């Protein structure tokens, strides 16, 4: 059995990031995540024969879906890695190491056998935190998130936030993001608000009208929290979330304009607009 048998999956982020994939491409991506998770280095070899086999598709199919599936991965020193997967693997590995260390010592430290209130989990000295049970109707105690988790959350927020014309003080934005999470705000709600803001201001992306991220996090993000994504345009059931209306996308490309926040361009196999739509527009072969 794998040393880390459980792979965490953040469903909201996963669905948002893979909305442009077909069912076959999604299945191949998930299978490759599982294979990488089982390796000590949390990576995949740069070997298309092995990748196709693990994705459970033929080489012909793999050649077709490879650009979209591997767009989520980075090739480093002959191995494919996935940033979020690597961070979660590191977090899970550290927890497993603590549990293994406790098990080798017989579970709870013997010196604490008669102290029911002290370190019931048998964690190493310096790692034990006091448990708090809230029985009042006031704000409940929120578990603290680890640094690795918070780093990944902020990276996702930064990726979802619309680009603007001008600078961004990301250090200040990070400080405000950390304060919000520390105060009990759900980081996924903040990320979702950033996506809703990007969708609402799609016509202003790349201009000075987009707020500084730090300003957005200073309070206005709540105006977009909990907002449902805009409905998909009629006749375009596979239209990706957070892209402007199809007519605007098509016209922009015809004029040679394609903002970076829209992702890969139509002449790139990793473009988020479904291939079938691009073909119907005469924008892809």
Instruction: Determine the structural domain holding residue 79 and report its residue range.
Output: 11-85
Which pTM was predicted? 0.38
- Total domains present in the chain: 3
- Which of 36, 63, 85 corresponds to the end of one domain? 85
Q: According to the model, what pLDDT value does residue 177 have?
A: 92
Backbone angles phi, psi at 43, to 5 degrees: -150, 170
Mean pLDDT of 3-12: 76
- Read off the tokens for 205: 């992306």
Q: Is 285 part of a structural domain of the chain?
A: no
Closest CA relative to residue 91, chosen from 35, 152, 157, 141: 152
Residue 84 clears pLDDT 90, i.e. is over it: no
pLDDT at 261 (0 to 100): 67
Report whether pLDDT(37) > 70: yes
Write out pLDDT tens, residues 179-194: 998 888 888 889 888 8
CA dist 15 to 9, 10, 79, 187, 226, Å? 10, 9, 25, 16, 16
**Rounded Cα distance, 46 and 34, in Å:** 16
- 203 versus 3: the higher-pLDDT residue is 203
User: Do 124 and 101 meet the contact criterion of CB atoms below 8 Å apart?
Assistant: yes
Check residues 231 and 137 and name the one with the higher pLDDT.
231
**Does residue 272 have a pLDDT over 90?**
no
Residues whose CB falls within 8 Å of the CB of residue 279, separated by 6 or more in sequence, listed in order: 285
pLDDT band with cut points at 50, 70 and 90 for residue 133: very low
Is the predicted pLDDT of residue 19 greater than 90, yes or no?
no
The more confidently predicted of residues 88 and 228 is 88
Distance (Å, rounded) from C-alpha 159 to C-alpha 161?
6
Phi-psi category of residue 94: left, alpha or beta, with phi > 0 → left and psi -120 to 50 → alpha? alpha
Q: Indicate if the pLDDT at residue 216 is higher than 90.
A: yes
Same domain as 271, residue 207: no
Structure-token pair, residue 272: 């988020």
**Which two structure tokens, joined as six digits, stand for 54?**
């693990």
Domain assignment of residue 115, yes or no: no
With 60 as the cut, is the pLDDT of residue 91 above it? yes
CATH of the domain at 34: 1.10.10
Cα–Cα distance for residue pair 163/160, rounded to 1 Å:
9
Q: Are 163 and 261 in contact (CB under 8 A)?
A: yes
pLDDT at 149: 58
**Inside any domain, residue 107:** no
Q: Cα 75 from chain centroid?
A: 18
Question: Averaged over 103-130, what is the pLDDT?
Answer: 50
108 domain residue, yes or no: no
In a domain, 193, yes or no: yes
Residues 218 and 252 in one domain: no
Q: In which residue are the tokens 């002449």 written?
A: 267
Question: What is the mean predicted confidence (pLDDT) over 67-73?
Answer: 91
Q: What is the mean pLDDT of the chain?
A: 78
pLDDT of residue 40: 76
Q: What is the pLDDT of residue 271?
A: 86
pLDDT, tens only, 168-179: 889 999 999 999
**Residue 110 Cα to chain centre, angstroms:** 42
- Do 153 and 218 have their domain in common? yes
Rounded distance, CA 43 to CA 205, Å? 35
């Amino acid at each position: 059995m794998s040393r880390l048998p459980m792979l965490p999956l953040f469903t909201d982020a996963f669905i948002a990031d893979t909305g442009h994939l077909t069912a076959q491409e999604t299945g191949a991506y998930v299978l490759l995540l599982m294979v990488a998770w089982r390796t000590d280095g949390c990576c995949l070899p740069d070997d298309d024969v092995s990748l196709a086999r693990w994705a459970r598709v033929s080489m012909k199919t793999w050649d077709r879906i490879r650009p979209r599936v591997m767009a989520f991965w980075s090739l480093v020193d002959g191995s494919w890695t996935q940033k979020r997967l690597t961070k979660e693997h590191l977090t899970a590995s550290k927890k497993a190491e603590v549990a293994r260390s406790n098990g080798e010592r017989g579970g709870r430290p013997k010196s604490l056998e008669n102290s029911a209130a002290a370190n019931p989990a048998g964690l190493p000295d310096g790692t034990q935190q006091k448990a708090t049970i809230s029985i009042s109707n006031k704000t409940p105690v929120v578990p603290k998130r680890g640094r690795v988790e918070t780093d990944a959350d902020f990276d996702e927020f930064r990726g979802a936030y619309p680009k603007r014309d001008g600078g961004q003080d990301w250090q200040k934005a990070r400080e405000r993001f950390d304060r919000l999470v520390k105060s009990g705000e759900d980081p996924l709600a903040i990320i979702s608000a950033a996506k809703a803001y990007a969708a609402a201001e799609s016509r202003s992306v790349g201009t000075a009208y987009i707020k500084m991220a730090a300003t957005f996090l200073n309070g206005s993000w709540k105006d977009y929290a909990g907002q449902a994504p805009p409905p998909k345009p009629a006749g375009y059931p596979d239209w990706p979330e957070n892209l402007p209306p199809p007519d605007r996308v098509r016209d922009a490309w015809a004029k040679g304009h394609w903002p970076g926040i829209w992702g890969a361009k139509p002449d790139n196999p990793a473009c988020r607009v479904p291939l079938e739509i691009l073909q119907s527009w005469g924008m892809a072969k």
